[in-house]
Each structure stands twice: as structure tokens, then as C-alpha cells.
């Protein structure tokens, strides 16, 4: 039994067929082209008799039943148990829809295809295992992530109020521009670089398939630095995106005003990929190499209170939800992002009308010596990520969104009083942020 850390990398192309529905918006979009290929990337780590798999998929978010199917296939092909498998969706909004119960032939076929391909990438990574030196570092990617929730002159809070909106008073919250980097240096084989940064990959828009800036980050880094493979894990991004509401000089180059008031552009996604790749390069050669004395993993379900609707709000919620499902959004008296907010809130109320008081949420953690990754099954606000990074006793903690499940938004407690798209659509009551940070403390303590 080797007492050295081993690392391996695997990759598979998972670009879907054209005509498949694209996930990420409250409207139908059918894929009619490919801007860049979607991928599954897998990092296998082994220390002694312990093996873990860290896998990323270019997808908006994958529900737990489908994730569980992926894990079962991976375990069958590799022998790695489910509680040692950490699967993350990068959250691109230009990837295919995945749902469990559907008559859509393309979606059903793609789910089977993606299951096999994810297991293939995991197997490739296992077969690529070689002794590795481990290092870590932190860099920054400035001026590409911005708070997307704003206080308006009338006192309301709006998400994505639009570029140049004169009624904006100030953003609510702070951006975390840190880029966490893990480097696995292998003699006679490609280095493997794991990067972690939090921002919404909703930069491209339209009907063409793209992994958005996370995919472009990987490609840019690998092209710039010879003999490397890059895997990317998105961080806490529930309240931040790429939109600078008061652009100056060339800030708006390569962007257009989209239907929902959110500005987008593939050229801007390329720019973001270059900035994040540049941040990785800033620290790549100067990581702090450390001896690894352990490799551990843990997964646990923790109950989180559900955000059940007030019965008096249900008649209007059913009306708006029915109109939306019938394709009659023009009869709902809102537009742009406020229409999205109202439709999402109505769907949440209808969905949770007869919901249980609590939902079991699966949290995941993996430690490599004194560095840890913490997986959150949804979209946490940046404040959650900051609190997790500050948990004592660790050299570095990497919070990762959309990991091992997709359960929606996790806002800060004050956001429920303020309002806005994320809190109004969340499946969880105010206080979910505290539950998540406490879960991180508990699981990370057990890994020590």
C-alpha cells in the first residue's frame, strides 16, 4: 500500500444532439448549434487504500435521483463507493435539460448517454493514477463578478435590474474575487490543476450549446500552459453574475441586451475565461507544496425547513403558474426580470403547497491533508462561501455549488426580508444559510 498521494485525470465529450431543450431559463430554448463542446472532467485521488473521485459536468444543475444514477454506474465501473464520489455541475445556462419523468425522447436518451460518459471519465481518471506532489494557492479574478441584487430608489430589491438603470441606488452584498487553486504535479505525466471561483455562468444566452466561461477557462489555461489538465468547480454564486450595471469605456464590448434585462455575449464569456485562467496562472508556479498525510471523505443528509406558501397566496400563484405553463406569459402583468421572479415564485408556491416541513439535503466534504472541498447541493449566496472559508483549522476550504444534487437557491437570512428573485423562489425558509454553514462546520470537524 502506497503512502504517497496519487492523482489521475479523465475527460469525456458530452455535447448533446441538436434540438434538445436548453436548461436555465423559464422559457423553451431548443439547441441549434455548438459554440464549444460540453465535457465531463474527473480527478481521481488515492492515498493508501482510500480513493475519491471529484467530477465536474458542464450542466446547469442535476437533481439528486439522476446524480444517484451516475454514482451507481461509476461504482459499478470503478469500485469507488458512492460516498467517495463528489459530482459537481458547473451551472452553465447553455447546456441541455435533464429531468427524471419526461416523455421527451432526446432528454431521456441524453440522460442515459451522460450516465455512461460520466462513468467513462471516472474510469479514465482511475486508470491514469500516478504519484503526485500536492500544492495550493489563492489568486484573484478582478472585475468580472458583480452583485446582481440592488436596492432601488423606491426601496424595493431587484435582481438584474438592467444595465444603466437610473433607479439603482446600490448593490447588496460583496463579491468574493478569490480564485482557489490546487496543483497536482506528476512526473512524466500532465499536471492536474483544480480551480474554484464563484460566479454565475449565464453569460452566453441564446440557443447554442456552450460550457460558458468555466469551459473557456479550462481551455484557455490548458492552451497557455503546456502539459496540463484543468478541472473547474464553481463556488458560491447565487447572488453574483457577470453584469456590470454601470459600464464604462470598453466594459460592454462583446455584449448585447437580452430579453430579461440581463446583458450577455459569447465574447464576454471568452473574456471571463481568460481572466480566470490568468488568475490560475498567477499562482500556478508559486503554489505552496505540502506533504499529504491523509485523504478523507464524508457525506450526510441534514434536514432543512421548507419554504411552504401562505394559503392566501395560492390562488394567484396557481393562476400565474398555469398561465406560464400554457405559454401565456404576456398575460402576467410583469416584464423582464420581474416576470421571471413572479413566475419562479408562483412555481415555488405550487410546488410546495403540500410539501413536508423539512427536506433532507445531502452535503459532501473531501479533505486532502489540511485542504478541504465542501459540496453544497444548490446555489448558495457568496456570504455562505465566505463563512465556510473562515472555518478555523484548515489551510484552505473550497466551497462548491451544485454538488451531488440541485436544490435551488440558498439566500442569506436578510434576503428574505429584502425580497428579490432568489429568496422569493427558494424552496427553503430564512435561516438556510446558517444551516449550511453549521453543516460545513460539523462535516469538516469530522474529517479532522
- Bridge partner residues of 222 (DSSP): none
* pTM tops 0.85, yes or no: yes
Cell digits for 424? 422569493
* Phi and psi based region of residue 222 (left: phi greater than 0; alpha: psi -120 to 50; beta: remaining): alpha
pLDDT at 281: 98
Closest by CA to 380, choosing from 428, 328, 341, is: 428
- Bridge partner residues of 42 (DSSP): 10, 55
pLDDT at 2: 60
Pairwise CA distance, residues 256 & 430, whole Å: 35
Domain boundaries, the chain: 6-298+360-447, 309-354
pLDDT at 269: 98
pLDDT at 64: 97
Sites in the chain below the pLDDT cut of 50 = none
- For the chain, the first-to-last Cα distance in angstroms comes to 22
Pairwise CA distance, residues 12 & 38, whole Å: 9
Pairwise CA distance, residues 383 & 182, whole Å: 22
Closest by CA to 117, choosing from 62, 40, 44, 53, is: 40
Collapsing DSSP states into helix, strand and coil, what is residue 198? Answer: coil
Per the prediction, the chain carries an average pLDDT of: 96
Query: Could you tell me the CA-to-CA distances from 151 to 3, 155, 182, 412, 416 in Å, in that order?
Result: 54, 6, 37, 16, 14
What are the DSSP calls for 353-421, one per residue? TT--SEEEEEEEEEEETTEEEEE-SSEE-HHHHHHHHT-TT-SEEEEESSBS----EE--HHHHHH--H
Amino acid at each position: 500500500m502506497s503512502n504517497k498521494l496519487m492523482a489521475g485525470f479523465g475527460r469525456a465529450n458530452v455535447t448533446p444532439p441538436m434540438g434538445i431543450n436548453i436548461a436555465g431559463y423559464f422559457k423553451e430554448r431548443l439547441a441549434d448549434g455548438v459554440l464549444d463542446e460540453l465535457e465531463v472532467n474527473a480527478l481521481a485521488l488515492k492515498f493508501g487504500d482510500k480513493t475519491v473521485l471529484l467530477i465536474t459536468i458542464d450542466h446547469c444543475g442535476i437533481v439528486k435521483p439522476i446524480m444517484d444514477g451516475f454514482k451507481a454506474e461509476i461504482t459499478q465501473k470503478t469500485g469507488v463507493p458512492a460516498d467517495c464520489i463528489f459530482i459537481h455541475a458547473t451551472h452553465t445556462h447553455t447546456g441541455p435539460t435533464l429531468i427524471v419523468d419526461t416523455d421527451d425522447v432526446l432528454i431521456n436518451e441524453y440522460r442515459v448517454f451522460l450516465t455512461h460518459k460520466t462513468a467513462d471519465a471516472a474510469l479514465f481518471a482511475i486508470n491514469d493514477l500516478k504519484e503526485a506532489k500536492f500544492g495550493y494557492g489563492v489568486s484573484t479574478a478582478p472585475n468580472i463578478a458583480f452583485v446582481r441584487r440592488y436596492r432601488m430608489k423606491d426601496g424595493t430589491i431587484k435582481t438584474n435590474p438592467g444595465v444603466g438603470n437610473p433607479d439603482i441606488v446600490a448593490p447588496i452584498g460583496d463579491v468574493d474575487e478569490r480564485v482557489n487553486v490546487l496543483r497536482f504535479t506528476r512526473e512524466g505525466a500532465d499536471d492536474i490543476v483544480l480551480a474554484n471561483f464563484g460566479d454565475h455562468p449565464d453569460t452566453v444566452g441564446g440557443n447554442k450549446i456552450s460550457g460558458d466561461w468555466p469551459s473557456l477557462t479550462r481551455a484557455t489555461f490548458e492552451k497557455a500552459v503546456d502539459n496540463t489538465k484543468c478541472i473547474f468547480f464553481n463556488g458560491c454564486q447565487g447572488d453574483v453574475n457577470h453584469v456590470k450595471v454601470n459600464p464604462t469605456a470598453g466594459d460592454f464590448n462583446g455584449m448585447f441586451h437580452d430579453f430579461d434585462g440581463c446583458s450577455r455575449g459569447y465574447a464576454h464569456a471568452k473574456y471571463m475565461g481568460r481572466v480566470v485562467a490568468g488568475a490560475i496562472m498567477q499562482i500556478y508556479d508559486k503554489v505552496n507544496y505540502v506533504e499529504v498525510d491523509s485523504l478523507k471523505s464524508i457525506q450526510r443528509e441534514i434536514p432543512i425547513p421548507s419554504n411552504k406558501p401562505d394559503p392566501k397566496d395560492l390562488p394567484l400563484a396557481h393562476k400565474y403558474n398555469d398561465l406560464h405553463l400554457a405559454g401565456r406569459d404576456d398575460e402576467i402583468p410583469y416584464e423582464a426580470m420581474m416576470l421571471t421572479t413572479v413566475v419562479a415564485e408562483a412555481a415555488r408556491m405550487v410546488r410546495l403547497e403540500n410539501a413536508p416541513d423539512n427536506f433532507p439535503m445531502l452535503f459532501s466534504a473531501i479533505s486532502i491533508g489540511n485542504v478541504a472541498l465542501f459540496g453544497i447541493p444548490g446555489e448558495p449566496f457568496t456570504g455562505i462561501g465566505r463563512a465556510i472559508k473562515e472555518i478555523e483549522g484548515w489551510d484552505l476550504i473550497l466551497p462548491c455549488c451544485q454538488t451531488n444534487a440541485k436544490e435551488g437557491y440558498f439566500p442569506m437570512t436578510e434576503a428574505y426580508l429584502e425580497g428579490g428573485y432568489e429568496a422569493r423562489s427558494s424552496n427553503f425558509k430564512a435561516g438556510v444559510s446558517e444551516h449550511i454553514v453549521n453543516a460545513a462546520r460539523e462535516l469538516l470537524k469530522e474529517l479532522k
